[in-house]
Amino acid sequence: MLQSSTIDVEKIRQDFPILQRRIKGGHKLIYLDNAATTQKPRAVIDSISNYYMNYNSNIHRAVHQLAEEATFAYEEVRQKVAKLVNARSAEEIIFTRNATESINLIARCWARQHLTQGDRVLITEIEHHSNIVPWQLVTGEVGASLDYLGVGDEGRIDIEEFAQKIHDPNLKLVSVSQMSNVLGTILPVKEMTNLAHEVNVPILIDAAQSVPHMKVDVQDLDCDFMAFSAHKMLGPTGVGILYAKREILEKMPPFIGGGDMIKEVHKQNTSFNDLPYKFEAGTPNIADVIGFGAAIDYLNDLGFENIREHEMQITEYALERMNEIQGITIYGPPIVNERGAVISFNLGDIHPHDLATILNDFGIAMRSGHHCAQVLMERLDVSATSRVSFYVYNSKDEVNILIDALQSARRLFGL
Amino acid sequence: MSEDIYREIILDHYRNPRNKGRISDADVSFHDSNPLCGDEIDIHLKVEDNIVKDIKFEGRGCAISQASASMLTEMVMNKPLTSVKELGKDDILENIGLVNLGPARIKCALLSLKVLKMSMVEYYASKDPESAQEIREGSRLY
């Protein structure tokens, strides 16, 4: 067993029931699609069933014991999230359905208020569709425009170019990914935030790929908004997180109207609830928020520094082994400390979908396609790539099987 | 299992597609893509006396989608539109020899037939709206 020095992968794997299952042909599951979603440890699954079996109740309103327990558990997770990203207070943490909804909330409630005709929103070419389409919608509505910061072949941005681009009196918002879901490139979001703030432009950071893999501190970055999701960090689907600075949230109009977001409702008008409830209308995803709490505990126990170190080791090993394969093209930065544990590549003229089908025969779950980043695909001039992405339970042994599978694909296609 | 899919004939059609290109005086052209995979197919059709006088395709995507398109053009060349109209999912899968294709990849194999059907819908749109509607209904392959 090739061990990574920081965390005990074999021990971790025991905590994930799904990793014990077999894929067609009797193969062990080799799950390398973590940038899409991650697997769930037993602690997360158990915490959700425990809620349903023992204290299922609606939250915030009733005074019976179940409601008290459920409310406490739900709000405790908000505290955990606040601590995770070092928010000033839990009031700055809003639960949504996913990172996409978090970005849309800002587009609807902040950008719609602040953008007028001729204004601009600046994003980059590496963005996921979730950080493109909401801005297209809102800028289209008000007659504003969407501007792109170009990226180099490895997905890097030019900070000088960024510094120039933001000196634009019509620029009202910057929205960028901290880590590319395709290339793994880590963007210098702290520098970008500083530069944006010099010209009084707020910045949203799409942290869906970064928060699960490294220590992220919203006060250190000083970003105005941040979006990420639970399911990419061992948590359940259906829980997104929006962080926003309190003073901005206070001035924002509500997102969706309904129960829980109100203080008083009269026939013709309503006063809205305090933060963060103003932005959480209706019964929230109580069970899955509670499950997310267990995921945060699990990751904190491993330690984010150890997680990052493990991922850098496995990515470096994978890059080294993959580079040995003839005919492979690997995208993204070659240096591991500039990237996350995501590797996009193409192998000869084998289309990524065909490659994914072949790898599936080895039990390998790998992503193929445009990864919801068609703007980046156009920039790279490819229609699709194959993508492997690692997390805490992936081992170097699995990388070895990946390499064997890729060699087998080469033979099958006569490369 | 992959060995069954990526047989020589599929790889041959993928690397040496038949009838690939454009028809400058096509009667109808149609484009569609598979949003999940990004496979793309354009079909250009030349019709004379209700017979497929010429068919060409352009496209990019996986071996299954491109080989299937290439094999489809051979299958319908010089065939009457009435018989092309009747083609269904099973005919295509048999034609390419992949009857057991899983749900994730079946869309790749059927994209070209869908595009062909939609180009026929366009062809009939003004001439025979009833047939156009009938083919449109029949173009929902999966």
Q: What is the ipTM of this complex?
A: 0.85
CA B85 – CA B91 distance, rounded (Å)? 12
Could you give the CA distance from residue A128 to residue A126 in angstroms, rounded to a whole number? 7
List pLDDT tens digits, range A269-281: 999 999 999 999 9
Mutate to test the interface with A, among B2, B5, B16, B58 (most CBs of A within 10 A): B2
Judging contacts by C-beta atoms under 8 Å, the chain A residues touching residue B96 are none
pLDDT tens, chain B, 142 aa long: 788 899 999 999 999 999 999 999 999 999 999 877 778 999 999 999 999 999 999 999 999 999 999 999 999 999 999 999 999 999 999 999 998 888 888 999 999 999 999 999 999 998 999 999 989 888 776 5
Domains, chain B, in order of start with CATH, read: 3-137 (3.90.1010.10)
Kindly report the pTM of this predicted structure: 0.92
Model confidence pLDDT, tens digit, residues A79-127 = 999 999 999 999 999 999 999 999 999 999 999 999 999 999 999 999 9
**8 Å CB contact of B1 and A369:** no
Q: What does the DSSP assignment read for B7-54? A: -HHHHHHHHS-TTBS--TT-SEEEEEE-TTT--EEEEEEEEETTEEEE
First-to-final CA distance of chain A: 31
Report how far apart, in Å, the C-alpha atoms of A86 and of each of A40, A97, A220, A371 are.
Answer: 24, 21, 9, 30
Nearest to B1 among A353, A354, A361 (CB): A361
Is the Cβ–Cβ distance between A310 and A340 less than 8 Å? no
Longest dimension (CA), chain A: 73
A223 tagged catalytic = no
Which of A383, A407, A411 is the best substitution to test chain B (most B C-beta atoms within 10 A)? A383
Rounded CA-CA distance B133/B114 in Å is 14
Instruction: Kindly state the tokens that stand for B121.
Output: 């819908």
Q: Is B11 in the A-facing interface, judged by CB distances under 8 Å?
A: yes
Task: Locate all alpha helices (DSSP H) within A286-373, ordered by sequence.
Answer: 286-302, 304-323, 352-360
